[in-house]
């Protein structure tokens, strides 16, 4: 198969399936390491020149729960960035993505495990993070009952003789949102942080 055609086919499959279908490794590397003279007339290479069949394409299918977790995690990140506003995001974004977001994803995964696929279809994320100094980032709630299942918050802490810290935590409906489950902490500095959503 011509190199340009093979590469075009790979790109086309990836685009049409939004990356869900990954062409096999053999398709990527078919005879690329051999000089062109060795490609022609070498019987050992003829078997590598077989047509692409369906079994050569590996399909990565995500379960309903995995799709839910990915969707909620992406939306959680979006809602958090809205809450932070540019002034805070510019300072803490890397720490948030490295430290806090994986723990938010783990909490979402733990929540998803408690529900069937059908029940997950009834869960959504709120789209109104609180501004000012309020703690709310987002909630995951039941769209039919309007009852929250889990609430994600960030609190500003100022321990004595230390700088400000952002304490990320969540609450669940299991104990009427009383217990703080810590997600992680990001240091700010000794200056008072701007209000949430400050531009």
Q: Which pLDDT score, from 0 to 100, does residue 177 have?
A: 97
Task: Report d(CA 155, CA 186) in Å as an integer.
Answer: 11
Average pLDDT, the chain: 83
Tokens of 135: 């703690």
Q: Are the C-beta atoms of residues 183 and 170 closer than 8 Å to each other?
A: yes
Residue whose tokens read 């510019």: 90
Beta bridge partners of 155: 167
Task: Report d(CA 114, CA 66) in Å as an integer.
Answer: 13
Task: Report d(CA 156, CA 195) in Å as an integer.
Answer: 10
Residue whose tokens read 């093979």: 6
User: Which three-class secondary structure state does DSSP give residue 112?
Assistant: helix
Summarize pLDDT for 37-92 with one digit per residue, the tens.
444 445 455 545 555 555 555 556 789 999 999 999 999 999 999 999 999 999 99
Q: Which pLDDT score, from 0 to 100, does residue 62 have?
A: 83
Domain boundaries of the chain, sorted by first residue: 3-59, 64-187
Answer whether residue 12 shows pLDDT above 80: no
Residue whose tokens read 């096999």: 24
Q: How far is CA 12 from the centre of its chain?
A: 25
Q: Which pLDDT score, from 0 to 100, does residue 27 have?
A: 46
DSSP annotation of 115 reads S
Summarize pLDDT for 119-144 with one digit per residue, the tens.
999 999 999 999 999 999 999 999 99
């Amino acid at each position: 198969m011509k190199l340009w055609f093979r590469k075009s086919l790979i790109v086309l499959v990836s685009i049409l399936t939004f990356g869900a279908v990954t062409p096999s490794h053999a398709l990527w590397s078919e005879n690329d390491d051999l000089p062109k003279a060795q490609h022609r007339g070498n019987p050992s290479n003829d078997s590598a020149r077989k047509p692409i069949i369906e079994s050569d394409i590996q399909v990565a299918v995500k379960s309903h729960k995995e799709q839910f977790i990915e969707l909620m995690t992406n939306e959680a990140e979006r809602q958090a960035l809205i809450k932070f506003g540019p002034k805070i995001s510019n300072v803490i974004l890397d720490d948030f993505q490295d430290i806090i977001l994986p723990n938010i994803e783990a909490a979402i995964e733990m929540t998803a495990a408690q529900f069937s696929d059908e029940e997950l279809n009834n869960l959504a994320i709120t789209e109104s993070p609180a501004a000012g100094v309020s703690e709310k980032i987002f909630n995951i709630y039941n769209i039919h009952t309007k009852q929250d299942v889990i609430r994600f918050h960030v609190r500003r802490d100022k321990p004595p003789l230390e700088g400000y810290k952002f304490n990320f935590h969540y609450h669940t409906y299991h104990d009427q949102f009383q217990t703080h489950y810590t997600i992680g902490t990001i240091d700010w500095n000794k200056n008072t942080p701007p209000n949430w959503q400050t531009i």
